[in-house]
Amino acid sequence: MSLVDPSLLCNWIIFRDGRLQIQSGKVDIGQRISTALVQIVHEELTIPYSQIDVAPVRTGQSPDEGITSGSNSIEQSGHAIRCAAATLRCALIAVAARQTGTEPQDWHVEHGSLCLPATNHRIPIADLAAYLDPSTVVDPNVVFRVVDSENGPGPGMRGMAELVNGSFTFVHDLEMPGMQHARAIRPPNVNARLRSDETALEKWLEKDQRLIRDGSFLAITGPKEWPVVRAAGRLAAACNWDMCDGLPEIDVFSKLTAETAIRMPVVDSTPSNGSLPEPLLNPTAMARYERPYQLHGALGPSAALAEWNGVVLKIFCHSQGIYPLRDSIADSLGLDPSHVVITHVFGAGCYGHNGADDAAFEAALIAMQTPGVPILLKWTREDEHRWEPFAPAMAVELAAQIKVGKIGAYSAEVFSDTHRGRPRPGPDRAGPGKLLANRFRADPVGPPTAQPNLARHGGMHRNLDPIYDIPRKQFVKNLVTGLPHRTSAMRCLGAALNIFGLESFMDELALQSGIEPTAFRRAHLSDSRALAVLDELDRQVSRLPALTAQCGRGQAYAQYKNQMTRVGVSVDLAVDDHGRVRLLHAVIVADAGRVVDFEGLKAQLEGGFVQAASWALYEQVHWDRDGIVSKDWDSYPVIRFDNIPKIDVTVMNRGHEKSVGAGEASPGPTIAAIANAIFDATGLRMRRMPFTPDMILTRAIED
């Protein structure tokens, strides 16, 4: 958790110029965590939203909360900030009571002031801040105010007006005196190495431009952006590369097998070194589900700004883990971590490990060779598509035994490369080894050997264990290394495939048992909140019009990490004679416990649906021996506006329950609901994403 004991109050909340400033270590990547934190502080202190700021997340200043990932921000940073705000309220009430000779219980907060009932005594909270003991420690057991988050309008998404009118400042928009622009020149593939010498390349530069080279890492800088872009294009065409062995042209799914894997049993959702379970004997049903390599698909390529003054390296970037990145960059450049200062600045949202960390390091490499000159480096669309870490290709194999209409035994084996490609300190210089440019420098640092993620619900085994009540369950994770591409975390990690497989399999088992799928799920659930979600989903779906020819309806349920938001999804769709899928209507019902930001939660659930629908129907990385072929939106299609269905979202607020993460809760059941709806419409069971027309027609021929 973010709140470690003791934790000073001033690390989380301070007053500056009469305004309250929140200091969080979690970054905002469009998931509205900043908005939620403002709401949390407002509810504890009643200070008007307009008087609350959120400080930039900066190393050495903000709390070190690791990486913003795993839908943990509300549970971790939100809880810490709530404890800090409540501690501040109690401490200031104690100050007011001492100053007035009253009792603390006589006071309450209202409109940002401490009030004494039956009097006109009001003290603005900001006026009392100067009397606060700077050594005040956050009380993790402090009593919170009882509030109803649904009463009154929330703060609204921070920065929304600027986003709409085009005045919002992204990292790409930063400007500094004397700043120069930079572009990197990429090899054809990750194994290629530069043959050309500087003299042969410098003739392609324009006036005031400079060539930066470190081994096969090559970049160009200049005072004006477009001339740098233009020269980079000429330079890329002039480079002579040794292609080495290129990329292996393999069927990656044929490599996702037990014979090529590090195998570990998973007990209580946690890998162990125990004995592997025996395969289920005479299973009623078996199935394998697969997911290809996929991209984050951020609409804006990565970017970063760096400046080296000879002592301190300053970096501005949109990394989701500025402290681990700081340490990895410091290790790469031989600097003390205290001499690397990273500030988070908005970039394109990504929900996972895209090119942000790599762009930051590349900007730093260039800045180190141009002291005193701020360097703004931007990746191109092709850079982002070809060089960001991909979501790993995966497979999950399921088996079950049915007894009297219920699952008596269940088995799941998952196969994947690592989901842990983020640069973070570790043995054998694991941090530098995960920064792309280090592979190409004159003194290269190769990627570390992937090790199994042993965390509960970590990596590929996230949601491998069903939330359902099944007497006998057994699980195995299979880490497969030596595959063609660099991989890392993308939204949901293994949960996207595991829930797709599980919830498709539940429909298959229901069909074999002659039981309606939702009733089959209910028969395996004892959690009253899960059942309430399914009941509400049924109520919402019952209001929809009847399906017509070539249409189908599919449903799915999941609880992210078996402990966070519960989500039920229903999808209506149509499949035409050419195998094209048209999404018609979606219904989402979610229980995320106590809701802080209703609009933000709904946006997360809707956004998760849209991204997952894109994965399910369109997205797949392609490559050949020479390199990545999926280099733009034509060669890597994503869902477009013409296939976004009407989406109805119902949030079941549980004000008395703790808030739980929701940012990654809806994608898994979305994929499964789409697959189940395709089956309902066509009788075809889709087992490999994406469900393209070619894939659907191929399945029709096979069946």
Residue at 401 is within a domain: yes
pLDDT score of 154: 73
Residue 567 maps to a domain: yes
pLDDT tens for residues 363-414? Answer: 999 999 999 999 999 999 999 999 999 999 999 999 999 999 999 999 999 9
Q: Kindly state the DSSP code that residue 484 receives in the 8-state scheme.
A: S
CA distance 19 to 54: 10
Q: What CATH number does the domain containing 533 carry?
A: 3.30.365.10
Whether 541 and 607 map to the same domain: the answer is yes
Q: Is residue 245 within 8 Å of 238, Cβ to Cβ? A: no
Confidence band (pLDDT; 50, 70, 90) for 148? Answer: low
pLDDT at 130: 86
Specify if 424 maps to a domain.
no
In a domain, 407, yes or no: yes
pLDDT for the residue numbered 655: 85
Residues 6+ away with beta carbon under 8 Å from 430: 423, 424, 448
User: Does residue 212 share a domain with residue 128?
Assistant: no
Q: What is the band of 499 on the pLDDT scale with cuts at 50, 70, 90? A: very high
In the chain, the percentage of residues whose pLDDT exceeds 70 is 98
Confidence bin at 163 (pLDDT 50/70/90): confident
Is it the case that residue 151 has pLDDT exceeding 60?
A: no
Q: Do 692 and 635 reside in the same domain of the chain?
A: yes
Structure confidence by residue, pLDDT tens digits, 107-140: 989 999 999 887 888 899 999 888 888 899 999 9
313-317/303-308 β-pairing: antiparallel
What tens digit of pLDDT does each residue of 261-288 get?
A: 999 999 999 999 999 999 999 999 999 9
How many Å separate Cα 209 from the centre of its chain? 37
470 & 564 share domain? yes
- The torsion defined by the Cα of 428, 432, 436 and 438, in degrees rounded to 10, comes to -90
Confidence check: pLDDT of 150 > 70:
no
For the packed helices 667-682 and 598-617, what is the interaxial angle rounded to 10 degrees? 50
If asked whether residues 195 and 322 sit together in one domain, one would say yes
Examine residue 470 and state whether it is found in any structural domain, yes or no: yes
**Do the domain assignments include residue 257?**
no
SS3 category, 232? helix
Boundary (domain end) residue, out of 148, 183, 209: 148
Question: Within this chain, do residues 688 and 542 fall inside the same structural domain, yes or no?
Answer: yes
CB atoms within 10 A of CB 252: 21
Confidence of residue 73 (pLDDT cuts 50, 70, 90): confident
- The structural domain count of the chain equals 3
pLDDT at 51 over 70: yes
Residue 455, pLDDT > 80, answer yes
Contact 661, 71 (CB under 8 A): yes
pLDDT tens per residue, range 177-200: 999 999 999 999 999 999 998 888
pLDDT in tens, 682-698: 999 999 999 999 999 99
Is the per-residue pLDDT at 1 higher than 60? no
462 and 518 inside one domain: yes
Region of poorest pLDDT, from 65-74, 419-428, 586-595: 65-74
Q: Are residues 317 and 402 in the same domain?
A: no
**Does residue 250 belong to any structural domain of this protein?**
no
Q: Are residues 534 and 631 in the same domain?
A: yes
In a domain, 412, yes or no: yes
Are 405 and 382 in the same domain?
A: no
For residue 526, give its domain range.
394-418+453-702
Given a cut of 90, whether residue 425 has pLDDT beyond it is no
- What is the C-alpha to C-alpha distance for residues 651 and 669, in angstroms, rounded to an integer? 16
Statement to judge: residues 340 and 407 lie in one domain: no
Residues 137 and 201 in one domain: no
